[in-house]
Amino acid sequence: MEHAVLFLVGFAILLKGSGVLITGASSLAQQLRLSTWFIGIVIVGIGTSIPELSISFASAFNGVTIGLGTIIGSNTFNIFAILGIAALLSPLALQRSWVLRDLPVNIAAILLAAIALYLPILGDPAFTGISRPEGIALLASFLVWMTYLGTRKRADTASDPDIRIVAIPIAIGMVVFGILGVIFGGRWVVEGGEALARAAGASEAFIGLTVIGIGTSLPELIVSVRAALRRNAAIAVGNIVGSNVFDFLGIFGLTAAVRPIPVEPGLAFDILITALSACALFAAMFVGKRYVLGRLQGFGLLSAYLAYFLFLLVRG
């Protein structure tokens, strides 16, 4: 019974936190004349990826690869499932500059991480995984991208009269509270859901695939869905792009810089699927109405994830 209560309370906090986060971030962007896209990528995207960061560090120091698998699976879920669901609920119209400048960075981040994982370019040639020098290189790439975003954040600014404006200190507090809400709410949902799954006799593989991989993406899911329903495509998509780039460059880079990340050869196919999901998102921007992720494209993305998920269940 206590596990069910934990799950429900966590989900309620997750919902409330995401709403507060979006309101605070949108108000902050408007008043500071920052792009909502920039806020979505930097504040919301990175903030909702903190669960993945903690899992990555914990698994690296324990000498296991669960953090690596969680990030790969989480990012595939982010694009295929979360954006698929968000687009089905409300078409997401993006600016041309967002599509042409930032979506390719998402693809490049995955490819750079894949190269670091499987090709020993830097560090010990006998080590399969991300070595410390490779981690530093990934982290440096992430910081370069962040600096670039900072130089152009004002160019994308657009006034939106529908955004609720609150005082800047209150908006900052709402962002902090919202991030804490989605982090702790998501954690309690994962813990409660895992306990319920174990009580129901679910297998370890099933728990890992559904609770750990998808569970760590609950903050992104709730934030993107809430943003889509509010027709805030910048937060809905920017949150996913920022989260994915931070995961592959920032989290992998930071973790490997502290302790090298080993990799299992079996994950090569899964990181390929993640790369294909990023490519599919970019291609979807040119199908139908340009730079709009419509319901048809959303259905295609979600269907792709369901097919991949069924494959994982069969593979075991």
Q: What is the pLDDT of residue 163?
A: 57
Give pLDDT < 50 ranges for the chain. 157-162, 204-205
Q: What is the pLDDT of residues 91-105, one digit of tens each?
A: 999 989 889 999 999
Q: What is the pLDDT of residue 205?
A: 43
Tell me whether residue 167 is exposed, middle or buried, using C-beta atoms within 10 angstroms of its C-beta: 0 to 12, 13 to 18, 19 or more: exposed
Residue listed under structure tokens 């340009």: 290
Q: What is the pLDDT of residue 158?
A: 47
Q: Between 96-118 and 233-245, two packed helices, what is the crossing angle to 10 degrees?
A: 20
Residues across the chain: 316
- Given a contact cutoff of 8 angstroms between Cβ atoms, the answer to whether 292 and 94 are in contact is yes
Q: Can you give the pTM of this predicted structure?
A: 0.79
* Domains of the chain and any CATH numbers: 2-315 (1.20.1420.30)
Angle at 53 between CA 252 and CA 242, to 5 degrees: 75
Tokens of 77: 């879920």
Q: Rounded distance, CA 226 to CA 122, Å? A: 42
Q: What is the pLDDT of residues 28-59, one digit of tens each?
A: 777 777 777 887 888 778 777 877 777 777 77
Q: What is the pLDDT of residue 216?
A: 75
